[in-house]
Structure 1
Amino acid sequence: MAAQAHLQSRGDAEVLTSALAKIADFWHFSNAKLGAVLGLSAATISRLKCGRSVLDPASKSFEAGQFLLRLFRSLDALLGSDDDAARRWLETRNLDLEARPFDLIDSFRGLITVCDYVDAHRARV
């Protein structure tokens, strides 16, 4: 049973790692930027992107990755799968957040704040 749980968590890690690499491509995040969001080095991000490593499901980086995926999915739903619009939204100063979401997501607290903000707007739609 423990081996099966390990395989499942490894599979989850592979799926999330792959999804984060795609999000980084869609939003034109450098390895350094994705690393800042996940709390990892640019070199580690490079290894993740090329499949030589996966996020550890027990790590804070994995949790941050889940929030980044949540943000991606929320913006995707709000903006009709328009990656350019999502990227522009991230890069534009937001009066409610008092900063560019792009800058806020470098901290775990900021990432959660941006996710909650977008989800609150999704609830109104």
Structure 2
Amino acid sequence: MSVLARPLQEKAGALSGAVVRISDFWSLSNAKLATVLGLSPATVSRLRAGTTALDPASKSFEAGQFLLRLFRSLDALLGSDDNAAKAWLNTVNLDLDGKPIDRIDTMRGLMEVCDYVDFYRARV
């Protein structure tokens, strides 16, 4: 393995692990996580098992980064209360025109939810 490839693989492994932990905290099924990341449920199963990692050059990696951003923003805003974050994600939000958990199924929706939470955090 080249010296340059090692840091990319480490980033992929770290992000993949974080995404799996986030999906556990938020009780996301393999099918839901697959939709959010743009992967197949089988690939998500391998991701959970640790036998595969997100490819740093893929859209799935980018979606994983946004999912991590959303997790961190909600964690900071809600004082590390995972139950509050889960409740927020599953409650209809008039500004977002639906439940945030449903909006993150597309890259655009995921980015909008991230921006919304970041904007709200900036006001606090």
User: TM class, shorter-chain normalised?
Assistant: over 0.9
- Hey, which bits of structure 1, 4+ residues long, moved more than 4 A? none
SS of 2:3 mapped into structure 1: helix
Q: What percentage of aligned pairs have identical amino acids?
A: 63
Q: How many residues align?
A: 124
Structure 2: stretches of 5+ with no match in the other structure: none
- Give, in angstroms, the shift of residue 3 of structure 1: 1.5
- Give, in angstroms, the shift of residue 60 of structure 1: 0.2
Partners of 2:94 and 2:72 lie apart in 1 by 22
- Give, in angstroms, the shift of residue 6 of structure 1: 0.7
Partner residue in 2 for 1:27: 26
For 1:72, give the aligned amino acid: F
Partner residue in 1 for 2:88: 89
- Give, in angstroms, the shift of residue 90 of structure 1: 0.4
Cα RMSD for the two superposed structures: 0.9
Partners of 1:121 and 1:3 lie apart in 2 by 42
SS of 1:3 mapped into structure 2: coil
Structure 1: stretches of 5+ with no match in the other structure: none
Q: C-alpha offsets along residues 7-46 of structure 1, whole Å, 9 cap, x if unaligned? A: 0000000000000000000000000011110001111001
Q: TM-score, normalised by structure 1?
A: 0.97
